[in-house]
Amino acid sequence: MPKDYCAARPISTLVDTNLTAWDQDYRLRGRLWGSSAKGMPDLPENARILELGCGDGKTLAALAGSGRKVAALDVSLQALQLCRSVSPVAALILADACRLPFKQESFDIVFAFHVAGHLLLPGRHALAREVSRVLSSGGSLFFREFCVEDMRAGQGMETEPGTFRRGRGILTHYFTKGEVEALFCGLLPAIVGTHRWNLRVKGENMLRSEIEATFLKI
Ligand SMILES: C[S@@+](CC[C@H](N)C(=O)[O-])C[C@H]1O[C@@H](n2cnc3c(N)ncnc32)[C@H](O)[C@@H]1O
């Protein structure tokens, strides 16, 4: 049953989620994340899947495309409205990834692609605790975030070590592998790698770099 944008719990004000900045960005620019999600893992047929910070549905489109039951949440209502056209069947929930409105062990798989990096340190810790809580034993977390060597690291105003505020106010934290492992220390790291690619910017090759990790709950 598609669940439309119901705010299951009040959005936390303890953690700076840059909510207004995200909402404004989606309102002004519409769909923000082009192309399709690459390198998606094979997933068991009946897995209960949750995506945190689904944005306008780039990853969700790949997850829900095969007819799987997926729940996806975001703090931005604008983002969820854009998601609905991408996935008519996913349960879309207005919620904070730092305070998940689900019972423990509700999901077999959690995707956190480029959401933890938009939180300050207390928010990243809260997200990590919540992921461990809602994952079932044997479940997996798939994680992606930009790495300290990415071309954008260091741009903008540094608000915390390694975290920068740019443009309309969106925060981005750039991770090291060790930091990712430490963040999810309650889970078992199965893969923690770095994915690098070049982006042509004004005729120059610039390095994009993200940490891709899979953690297991044992
Ligand atoms: C870079 S987009 C991620 C897009 C998506 N995961 C994908 O793979 O295409 C980051 C998203 O995280 C959302 N976000 C930021 N803070 C959040 C929070 N505390 N809880 C849930 N979503 C959040 C933003 O609204 C934004 O849509």
For residue 134, give the 3-state DSSP assignment.
helix
* pLDDT > 60? residue 8: no
Atom of ligand 1 nearest to the CA of 58: 9
Write the DSSP assignment of 59-101 as a string of letters.
HHHHHHTTT--EEEEES-HHHHHHHHHH-SSSEEEE--TTS-S
> pLDDT, tens digit, for every residue of 114-154?
999 999 999 999 999 999 999 999 999 999 999 999 999 99
* Beta strand pairing call for 70-74 and 91-94: parallel
Q: Tell me which of 8 and 89 has the higher pLDDT.
A: 89
The CA-to-CA distance between both ends of the chain, in Å, stands at: 30
Atom of ligand 1 nearest to the CA of 112: 6
Q: Tell me which of 166 and 103 has the higher pLDDT.
A: 103
User: What is the model's pLDDT at position 143?
Assistant: 98
Q: Which domains does the chain have, with CATH numbers?
A: 19-30+45-216 (3.40.50.150)
Ligand 1 pocket, residue 118 CB under 6 Å: yes
* pLDDT > 70? residue 5: no
Q: Could you tell me the pTM of the whole model?
A: 0.92
* pLDDT > 80? residue 102: yes
Atom of ligand 1 nearest to the CA of 96: 20
User: What is the model's pLDDT at position 3?
Assistant: 58
SS3 per residue for 21-52: HHHHHHHHHCCCCCCCCCCCCCCCCCCCEEEE
Helix axes 19-29, 77-86, angle to 10 degrees: 50
User: What is the model's pLDDT at position 166?
Assistant: 87
Give, using CA atoms, the residue closest to atom 4 of ligand 1: 55
> pLDDT, tens digit, for every residue of 22-78?
888 898 887 776 678 889 999 998 899 999 999 999 999 999 876 788 999 999 999
Ligand 1 pocket, residue 124 CB under 6 Å: no
